[in-house]
Amino acid sequence: MPWIMPHDWGMSTHAVWRQVPTVLLVAGLAGAACGDDRSPEPPSSPPASEVITAADGTRFAVEVVFRNLDVPWSLAFAPDGRLFITERPGRVRIAQNGALLAQAALTVSDAAPNGEAGVMGLALHPNFSSNRFVYVAYTARAGGGGSVNRVVRYREAGNQLGEPMVIVDNIAAANIHDGGRIRFGPDGKLYLTMGDAASPPVSQDLASLNGKILRMNDDGSLPGDNPFSASFVYSLGHRNPQGIDWQPATGELWGTEHGATGNDELNRLLPGRNYGWPVIEANRTQAGMETPVLFYDPAIAPSGLSFYAPAAGVTAIEGFRNNAFFATLRGTHLHRVIFNTDNPQTVRSEERLLEGRFGRIRDVVSGPDGAIYFCTNNRDGRGTPTSDDDRVIRIVPAR
C-alpha cells in the first residue's frame, strides 16, 4: 500500500473553496488509496453515434472511431491529420485516413508494462512537419530486475519510428505512480510529469526528479530559465500527475493529479511552486505550498487533460470553446471545466459528461477536425472491458 499522510500532523484545516459539479455525481464510490483503482462495471457499448445535450444546452454527438486497442495511453495528432497512439504494453500505433494501421509504428522491446507502468506519454515536436521527431515516455527494464522511467526521441518515416535518442533517463520507476505525460509547451520546451514512484518523500526532494513536473529543451538539455538552478524541475510536491495543458486565455499551465484517499486535484501549475504532497493535499494549507483549484473526494482518478481550442476554419463545438476536459479512470466520465470569462484563472462550473457510458478514460485531446478525441482503458486490469475495448471515441458537433 502507498504511504498515506497521518491525520495528526497539526496542519491547518482552513477550508478551501471547492466547486461542486453541476450534473450527475458519482454515488456510492469509496475513495481508495491509489485513486487509480478498480472502476464500477460499465454497461454494454453505447450506439456508435448519438446526440447528447450538456447542462448549458451545448449539443454534441459521440462516435466510436477505433476499437480493440490494447490499453491506449496517449493520443497525439500530426499536422497531416494522422493520429499517433501509445499502447501501454509496448507499442506506438498510427491511424491514417480513418483507419488504424495494422503494423505498429514502434514496438518498444525493453518496455516494462507492470501495474501502471509501461509505454505512456507521446508528443510530436512542434516542427514535426520538417524534423519528424516523436517523443515517447515509458518504463524500461533495468539491470537487476528493476525498472526506470525515460523519454526517447524517434524519427518517423513511412509510418515507422526509428533513430532512437534518449532524452532523459534513469528516473525512478515503480508499478504505480509513474506519471508519464509529455507535451510541448507554447515556449517550445518539453514538459514531463513524473509521479513519486510509490516513495512520497521524494516529491519534496529537489535532488529527485520524481513527484515533479519537469521542463527541458527538445534535445534533453537543461533550459537556462528553469526556476531551480541546474535542475529540470518546474514544480514539485506532486503525487501522480497524469495530465497537463496550457490555457488558451492565459498561456498558463494546468494539470491533473491523483490523490491518496480521494483528494484528486486540478492545479494551476506555476514555475517553482510546491504543490504539497505528501505534506498537504485537498483543503489543507501550509505556508509555501499551493492548494488545488479543485479537488475531488471520493476519488475520480483524473488522467489526460486538454483545453478545447479548435483551429480557425474547422467546424467547432462552440459551447465547449476554451473549456478544459480531463479524462477520469475511476470516475468513468469526461470531466468538463468552464472558466469565468472575466477571470479565466477561476472556475465558473463543472460537468461530468458521458458518465458510466464508456468505462475508464485515460486521455483526451483536441483533433485538427474540431472534434474532441478520447481513449478508454478498460483492458488495463482495473476495468471490465466490453467486446470492442479499448476504444478511441470522438465528440463532434451535433448535426
The domain ranges of the chain are: 49-397
Cα first-last separation, the chain: 48
Spatial distance between the Cα atoms of 278 and 260, rounded to a whole number of angstroms: 9
pLDDT bin (cut points 50, 70, 90) of residue 12 is very low
Q: What is the DSSP string of 34-58?
A: TSS-PPPPP-SPPPSEEEEE-TTS-
Identify the residue with better confidence: 10 or 399.
Answer: 399
Segment 49-65 mean pLDDT: 93
Q: Of 20-24, 91-95, 325-329, 342-346, where does mean pLDDT reach its minimum? A: 20-24
Segment 73-101 mean pLDDT: 98
The pLDDT, as a whole number, for residue 38 is: 56
Q: What is the pLDDT of residues 272-324, one digit of tens each?
A: 999 999 999 999 999 999 999 999 999 999 999 999 999 999 999 999 999 99
Cell of residue 196, nine digits: 513519486
Tell me how many degrees the CA angle 302-284-8 measures, rounded to the nearest 5: 115
The pLDDT, as a whole number, for residue 50 is: 79
- Beta bridge partners, 157, equal 160
Q: Are 149 and 171 in contact (CB under 8 A)?
A: yes
Identify the residue with better confidence: 31 or 123.
Answer: 123
Spatial distance between the Cα atoms of 224 and 125, rounded to a whole number of angstroms: 20
The pLDDT, as a whole number, for residue 84 is: 99
Q: Running DSSP on this structure, what letter comes out for residue 19?
A: P
Among residues 180, 216, 176, 194, the alpha carbon closest in space to that of 108 is found at: 180
Q: What is the pLDDT of residues 253-279, one digit of tens each?
A: 999 999 998 999 999 999 999 999 999
Query: Among residues of the chain, what percentage have pLDDT more than 70?
Result: 88
The pLDDT, as a whole number, for residue 158 is: 98
The pLDDT, as a whole number, for residue 37 is: 54
In sequence order, which residues have a C-beta less than 8 Å from that of residue 294 and are 6 or more positions away?
Answer: 18, 19, 265, 266, 337, 347, 350
Segment 109-138 mean pLDDT: 98
Coil vs helix vs strand at 59 = strand
Q: What is the pLDDT of residues 66-76, one digit of tens each?
A: 999 999 999 99
CATH 3.40.50.450 fits 49-397, yes or no: no
Spatial distance between the Cα atoms of 174 and 177, rounded to a whole number of angstroms: 7
Segment 145-160 mean pLDDT: 97
The pLDDT, as a whole number, for residue 26 is: 30
pLDDT bin (cut points 50, 70, 90) of residue 23 is very low
Coil vs helix vs strand at 11 = coil
Q: Of 31-35, 292-296, 310-314, 394-398, where does mean pLDDT reach its minimum? A: 31-35
Spatial distance between the Cα atoms of 214 and 227, rounded to a whole number of angstroms: 11
Spatial distance between the Cα atoms of 355 and 42, rounded to a whole number of angstroms: 10
Spatial distance between the Cα atoms of 128 and 142, rounded to a whole number of angstroms: 30
The pLDDT, as a whole number, for residue 13 is: 29
The torsion angle over the Cα atoms of residues 19, 343, 273 and 16, rounded to 10 degrees, is -30
Query: Among residues of the chain, what percentage have pLDDT more than 90?
Result: 86
Q: What is the pLDDT of residues 233-244, one digit of tens each?
A: 999 999 999 999
Spatial distance between the Cα atoms of 266 and 289, rounded to a whole number of angstroms: 15
